[in-house]
Copies of this chain bind each other. A is one copy, B any other.
Amino acid sequence: MAKAITKRTENYSQWYLDIVKRAGLADHSQVKGCMVIKPTGFAVWENMKDQLDRMFKETGHVNAYFPLFIPKSFLSREAAHVEGFAKECAVVTHHRLMNDPNGGGVVVDPSAKLEEELIVRPTSETIIWDTYRDWINSYRDLPLLINQWANVVRWEMRTRLFMRTAEFLWQEGHTAHATREEAMEESLRMQQVYADFAEQYMAMPVIRGVKTANERFAGADETYTIESLMQDGKALQAGTSHFLGQNFAKAFDVKFLNKENQQEYVWATSWGVSTRLIGGLIMTHSDDDGLVIPPKLAPTQVVIVPIPKPGPEIAEVAEKLMQALRAQGIRVKFDDDEKNRPGFKFAEHELKGIPVRIGIGKRDLEKGQVEIARRDTKEKQFVPIDGAAAFAAQLLDDIQQNLLQKATKFRDDNITRADHFDDFKAIVNATRPDQTESWGGGFISAHWDGTTETELKIKELTKATIRCIPLDNEQEEGRCILTGKPSNQRVLFAKAY
């Protein structure tokens, strides 16, 4: 068997990389910063996408597709936007290669220079709002509720598979509204959709909050976020929903005739989640034996293993079990490979995170039973064959619940209140050698004076940033953790991915 996965207590980053590679989720490519999403990883993304797409459609959205390329001049129209994206983008300057007249192979044809450079979209607000100008004339054309599934490129120097790559897959919703209120409602609605998806499907608890001005999306008036906590005590921004005000409508001159027959700029939102969620999934649930994945998103939910090897009797029982499971919509596989022994297979299935394993042994069959093991707790038990399918189906629900409970407890256990900066630093700098080799400190709930200056100073001193101001915050009088200035609510700090 191949070498074991690095332990989390030894090297958390390496553990993560081992999981991603060994579970067949993704791989580095020869193109700097770009990843290859392997079939198992892509199957997880497909399951996520299918569910999210359903939720978007249930909330009235339709899909469309806009160009990959954005003319350079479009980026510049919104001042904050260009500031945010110009520094890390792929620029197309030519449209042809040619044979080097000096015999140097294939080179760029200098005569095929573009009049205006094109940027590979890092996000599509600009090209979409340029299009919306033609689509929106009157209040009758609103709201416009459109989503796009697409690839985007941000030229990242320090990459990590799924978490941060130059190219990634995502969805981006771009909606247009007649009023400020409607647009604000939409931003919050989609933040809630993301929160529901994270908790109900990914079994990943999230805190809904609003970003500080400093952490806002480039071009937004408000950025709403869902923040989750990884096993190593670092936060992950899992999804964002932006209230864009009239910024892009003004930049691209998108007006509508309102009911009072007056021209008015359109109100906008945008919102997105990406393949980054797969990274969050891994770092929320997996263990030293490999991937742990919530049943609702698992490409294979149940695997049946013959012990010690396939035979007609076992195959017959397996076939019936598979039919019963598939009838309930459960994704099941029969691992009848003859090359490998059960022990090897068990380890492989654990590594790949298949939630439930059913072992069918010759001797067990004589007793009319099979062995059912769950991936999350590693518990095993014998179950009568007749009830096995129902048992496994129930077990999938239990695992889904258990993963959410466990992750929620972990998250809640790692939100610490701090009222003095020394305590703050102690929390951020604490180690947890029992958990991971690198410990982020979890969330810290502390008072802040509301200025970007203080926020940046705390970041400089501790590497912790304000992840969000929770939406369900209670008002509480207090003093800023750094400056001692008055504050009326706590915000959440953390080191973040």
Measured CB to CB, the residues of A under 8 A from B are: 27, 29-31, 34-39, 41-43, 45-46, 62-76, 82, 86-98, 105-106, 108, 117-120, 127, 130-131, 134, 140, 146, 150-151, 153, 155, 167, 169, 339
> What separation, in Å, do the CA atoms of A89 and B75 have in the docked complex?
23
A76 proximity list for chain B (CB < 8 A) = 105-106
> What separation, in Å, do the CA atoms of A98 and B86 have in the docked complex?
7
Interface pair A66/B36, CB less than 8 Å apart: yes
A144 nearest in chain B by CB position: B39
Interface pair A64/B37, CB less than 8 Å apart: yes
List 13 interface pairs A-B (beta carbons < 8 Å), by A numbering.
A27-B134, A29-B127, A29-B130, A35-B67, A42-B62, A42-B64, A42-B65, A68-B151, A68-B167, A82-B97, A87-B96, A92-B120, A93-B108
A88 proximity list for chain B (CB < 8 A) = 95-96
Residue from B63, B95, B119 within 8 A of A89 (CB atoms):
B95
A69 nearest in chain B by CB position: B31
Tell me whether chain A's interface is mostly helix, strand or loop, or mixed.
mixed
A38 proximity list for chain B (CB < 8 A) = 64
> What separation, in Å, do the CA atoms of A339 and B141 have in the docked complex?
13
* A92-B91 contact given A69-B31, A75-B106, A151-B68, CB 8 Å threshold: yes
In the assembled complex, the CB of A398 is this many whole angstroms from the nearest CB of chain B, namely 29
A98 nearest in chain B by CB position: B86
Within the oligomer, what is the number of copies of this chain?
2
Interface pair B67/A29, CB less than 8 Å apart: yes
A82 proximity list for chain B (CB < 8 A) = 97, 106
Interface pair B108/A70, CB less than 8 Å apart: no
A151 proximity list for chain B (CB < 8 A) = 68, 150-151
> What separation, in Å, do the CA atoms of A92 and B153 have in the docked complex?
12
* A71-B30 contact given A86-B98, A87-B97, A90-B95, CB 8 Å threshold: yes
Interface pair A39/B67, CB less than 8 Å apart: no
* A153-B68 contact given A98-B86, A106-B76, A134-B27, CB 8 Å threshold: yes
